[in-house]
Chains A and B, each alone.
Chain A
């Protein structure tokens, strides 16, 4: 057990050190969400005036959604680091040590969690500067971070499992492209759930991105419905556990 914890710490330290030496990578992942936030926030400002939207602060509505979306799309590329290690001999080298697949999986997810928190805080700050308000304060922000990190984990573990199994960057690109945009639009990220067309609303109900977006938005309201937030967070945690299990299994069978 303790060996697994030590290994996880070592591998996490390695990937965070890499990140600190290539900080431009993090900045790069923020370009797109900033465009969404500042451009769409402005373009669709008056959407919130539609009857039934529920809030007059569209930027305040949009910001948690963009944060969730950013976490998902960044996490989708998590496997890139694995493909790089596989292409070089780094993965082989690592797998000839007594390292546990759980440690490899855990280190990647902790790294992803750190990235998600940093990204989310920056986007919350930008939203705030542009005029969004988060009445729930610190507890609300913490709840938003938790939900966002859980969603990031679900997608990062899926990306990692694919990377270990398929071992090709192209597969990750395909998955990111196939998943990210449809899941974004089949959700309430841009438009209040009450205003979604019927079939989209139905699809959104089974869309983890929508679970996270709703939970994140709810967390920031003046009087959050914590039961609803916890319920969705629970679903996200279950999903993350399943995809993390896939990654561990993928590493196990890779050694055969």
Chain B
């Protein structure tokens, strides 16, 4: 069934608690994850990302709505779903008093793989993640980055068709994050696994995900590829800086008169022009500047960022949403202090 979506969620609703104190974690979320893609669920803390993944991973039942993983209904056939998925939660999922190899073998065995197959697969994953040297040391002695890689490996040991990664790089330093991104990309390509990843990092979503679903307060606010989402916002920005404000003023008029330029604003030393295609407009902009006799000190073309996308759809800056008080969001174990 190559056309079966990796994940299909229809109108998922989940409420924790009752009455006045009820927390509406999901208010009706629907989406499809095409097979063999990396799909990002992006949103601030408490948006409902982890709740969604927990429902898909059979750890929690939806209040209403339905969900299927690889065509299998999560409520009607949870065991069949469990055989199909790997799950990496935001909290460490390995036993710290066991070695890396022991953790991997146990996880594979619990998924029903024969012992010899588990040992072979554990060795293969440890080698591919550069963890062989530490493989037989207790995991509590490992670095945070190594531990997180082991978590991902444990999610893949039984060759799942769908892998859920819940906030995979939270708490890692920049280098460990890059290494883990790299590992996720390589492993998912190599194993042909479909990945559903949640994150509240815009750069992570941009880097890893083929398609994105932006959620906020239990609702879907936008979806598409990162480029589509940015392109839907329309224009690129061309920013030209000058050493002199009179030059900037003259340049603004010249740039604003160019065909294809929407608006051009001068702000002290900087002229900001909105254009459909920033790179394409650049030669014309530089010509116009040269004709006014001004000299630009720097020129930059910027595409709309995911932050702009988020601002546009959720009506607030991403960083502000993430900093919202924890009491107003999410529920139970979903909250993890950043």
- Name the distance in Å between A98's Cβ and chain B's nearest Cβ: 5
Q: Of the candidates B78, B90, B109, B138, which one forms a contact with A89 in the assembled complex, judged by CB atoms under 8 Å apart?
A: B90
Interface residue ranges of A1-34 to B (CB < 8 Å): 3, 6-7, 10-11, 14, 17-18, 21-22
Per the 8 Å Cβ criterion, residues 78-96 of A in contact with B are 87-90, 92-96
Known pairs A14-B98, A256-B61; A90 contacts B93 (CB<8 A)? yes
B95 touches A18 (CB 8 A): yes
Q: Are A17 and B102 in contact (CB under 8 A)?
A: yes
Please indicate the chain B residues that have their CB under 8 angstroms from the CB of A94 in the complex. 110
Question: Chain A residues with Cβ under 8 A from B61's Cβ?
Answer: 255-256
Known A-B contacts: A14-B95, A97-B110, A98-B79. Give 11 more (CB < 8 A): A21-B138, A88-B92, A88-B93, A89-B151, A92-B57, A92-B91, A93-B94, A97-B107, A99-B110, A255-B60, A256-B60
Shortest C-beta distance, A171 to chain B (Å), equals 16
Task: Give A145 to B219 CA distance when docked, in angstroms.
Answer: 58
* Docked complex Cα distance between A28 and B337 (Å): 33
Query: Is the contact region of chain A dominated by helix, strand, or loop, or is it mixed?
Result: helix
CA distance A3 to B293 in the complex (A): 81
A-B contact count (CB 8 A): 77
Q: How far is the CB of B158 from chain A (nearest CB, A)?
A: 8
Contacts of A11 in B (CB 8 A): 110
Report B-chain residues with C-beta under 8 Å of the C-beta of A14.
95, 98, 102, 106
Is B310's beta carbon under 8 Å from chain A?
no
Q: Which residues of B contact A96 (CB under 8 A)?
A: 57-59, 82, 85-87
Q: How far is the CB of A225 from chain B (nearest CB, A)?
A: 45
Query: By the criterion CB–CB under 8 Å, are B87 and A93 in contact?
Result: yes
Do the beta carbons of A88 and B83 come within 8 Å of each other?
Answer: no
Identity of the chain B residue whose Cβ is nearest the Cβ of A167 in the assembled complex: B333
Query: B69 → chain A, closest Cβ, in Å?
Result: 11
In the bound complex, residues from chain B placing their C-beta under 8 Å from that of A93 are 87-89, 93-94, 107, 154
